[in-house]
Chain A
């Protein structure tokens, strides 16, 4: 299981890369592995706003439908539209080309360090 130390995480298995007031969000390597082959992604429109903990989209594998939740509140400034035709990027490169959205953050976020997230995953298994 790959859990990069320079990212932050949520208990619902999203990762966050924060640069200034922009947060890039995706799902963790563990999450993509649990889901299996991702075949469909539904993402919000640019300009949509979410509170921390809101579902902002869905990631579907052959068998399962999984909601993805905003790790922090904010406005969607960019979505990874390349996932529409190539959702498998989430399996192949969850922390890179498989990113989902970029948010302009507002408000505080309660995020986990990579060590804390690894413990969450261990407890679940």
Chain B
């Protein structure tokens, strides 16, 4: 495909017979063997994703913390060095610019952003921190990113690193070597399973990727990544989150510290919405009738349109059709999804759809 960027693992994907699609300007693997097989491999064993297209912004300088504090909804002052936090970035009106992971390092902050939002985010970050003594560097091209996810991930990764992974709790990270390559090993992910995200140099990525594949990890594409995150009830920017949806409406208030001081952009709007009531709310639902809800389908109650499906698929784990929708706050637990002009019954269910067993 012309005009598209490649990750450092492009040749590996080709060799594995991946189906490649345009995703956020990158030619990315959507699947290798099949979405459901890859999905199940992650739930039951381990899967390896190339997510090198994600963007990395690094905040350096005396005011780095103040700059990040102004931009993100989480209070990063509460993060330890070596700790990461999921957060939203908002506009003044509370709409969402992006959802990000903030890594607090010894000397700086690493903010990992969605590939599709990279340019917009960097511009927003710089524009809104001009009065600070901070450098906001776009290091996206200097990092490859592998996500090793699944119950067997700790064992498989431990074989390739001296870093003691049993000490690495969720949302903690450490610098170490993986198969001899200098890496940031982070106990994070987007699948609802235990696992790691490994940040490393593009030159080292193919070798580390191959070592993990040789160890028996199943390569997994963006298709499985999407069904896994949906079962885990996680938001995808552009679906559940966008400029017209606040993080409170999208159900990620755990990533918003409304009492934060110093203030973040959008805090006032979110406080008003929190006290005045949400304009819409995210619900998880299961289809009760036949059919699969898809992004953009209307949610109806009788003759009235009361919301819109943000994501929907057939869940490979639950073996039934599930989805997320943004609906009017007053909607009760039974509604319909309009599938090809046909109202099909659905019912609201608690999120997440899937939660892994923890020892």
Residues of chain A at the chain B interface (Cβ within 8 Å): 36-37, 39-40, 42, 58, 60-63, 65, 84
Contacts and interface: CB of A to CB of B under 8 A. Distances in A.
Contacts of B314: 39-40, 60, 62
Contact of A37 (B34, B294, B321): B34
Contact of A36 (B31, B226, B292, B340): B31
Interface of B: 19, 30-31, 34-36, 223, 226-227, 290-292, 294, 313-314, 316, 321, 340
Given A36-B31, A36-B223, A40-B314, A62 B291 contact: no
B35 A37 contact: yes
Main DSSP-derived SS at the A contact region? strand
Most central of B226, B292, B321 by chain A CB within 10 Å: B292
A76 B34 CA distance: 32
Contacts of A36: 19, 31, 34-35, 223
A37 B32 CA distance: 12
Contact of A62 (B19, B290, B316, B340): B316
Contacts of A40: 290-292, 314, 321
16 contacts: A36-B35, A37-B34, A37-B35, A40-B291, A40-B314, A40-B321, A42-B291, A42-B340, A58-B340, A60-B314, A62-B36, A62-B223, A62-B227, A62-B313, A63-B30, A65-B294
B238 to A, nearest CB: 15
Contacts of B35: 36-37, 61-63
Contacts of B292: 39-40, 60, 65
A42 B291 CA distance: 8
B228 to A, nearest CB: 11
A59 B46 CA distance: 30
A63 B19 CA distance: 13
A34 to B, nearest CB: 9
Given A36-B31, A63-B223, 15 more contacts: A36-B19, A36-B34, A36-B35, A37-B34, A37-B35, A37-B36, A39-B36, A39-B292, A39-B314, A40-B290, A58-B340, A60-B292, A61-B35, A62-B313, A84-B290
Nearest to A34: B19
Contacts of B313: 62-63
A60 B223 CA distance: 14
Contacts of A39: 36, 292, 314
A8 B174 CA distance: 60
A48 B316 CA distance: 32
B247 to A, nearest CB: 26
B93 to A, nearest CB: 33
Contacts of A84: 290
Most central of A39, A40, A58 by chain B CB within 10 Å: A39
A40 B314 CA distance: 8
A84 B290 CA distance: 9
A52 to B, nearest CB: 21
Pairs of residues from A and B, 6 with the lowest C-beta to C-beta distance, nearest first? A39-B314, A62-B35, A37-B36, A37-B34, A40-B292, A63-B223
A15 to B, nearest CB: 22
Nearest to B21: A63
Nearest to B36: A37
Contacts of B19: 36
A42 B321 CA distance: 14
Contacts of A62: 35-36, 223, 227, 313-314, 316
A36 B321 CA distance: 17
A73 B313 CA distance: 32
A68 B314 CA distance: 20
A60 B314 CA distance: 10
A60 B291 CA distance: 9
Contacts of B291: 40, 42
Contacts of A58: 340
Nearest to B34: A37
Nearest to B321: A40
A42 B290 CA distance: 9
Contacts of A42: 290-291, 340
A58 B339 CA distance: 11
Nearest to A64: B294
A125 B273 CA distance: 50
A60 B294 CA distance: 11
A61 B316 CA distance: 11
A61 B35 CA distance: 9
